Amino acid sequence: MKKVVIAVMVLLVIITAGILENVYVDKVFSTLDDKLGEVEQLVHAEDDEALDKLRSLTAWWEKQRGYMELFTYSPDLRAFSVALGETEGSLESDDFQNAQSKIQSLLVMSANLHRILDFNLEDVI
């Protein structure tokens, strides 16, 4: 009987951890999409504040990426950081046209990463 109770407790811990991970991933990517949207608007307006906003986003992302890599791994998390760096380089050289294309790539990468890291029935089947 003790073994059954322990097995049920372990199962509950695993399920709880999975739910909390899913909530965390959803929260991070929701915030990421909001921040990317702000940067996108500034880039389209060719506002010099876009670089500062992107640097702030990059610092925030690196912190969140560090936390996510504690419980999940995807090489795309690091690739996203590289894409942020490329966008920053475009903005530093005042190449807003290139930065616009990079922002679009970041938005697509964000959606793909969210889908990869999120729980989906497709992953179970």
pLDDT tens figures, 5-14 = 899 999 999 8
Average pLDDT over residues 77-83: 93
Is 61 within 8 Å of 110 (Cβ atoms)? no
Output the average pLDDT for the chain: 90
Is 58 within 8 Å of 85 (Cβ atoms)? yes
pLDDT tens figures, 85-115 = 999 999 999 999 999 999 999 999 999 999 8
Strands (E), 1-125: none
Buried b (16+ CB within 10 A) or exposed e, 76-113: ebeebeebbeebbebbeeeebebbbebbeebbebbeeb
pTM: 0.84
Residue 122: pLDDT over 70: no
Average pLDDT over residues 54-71: 93
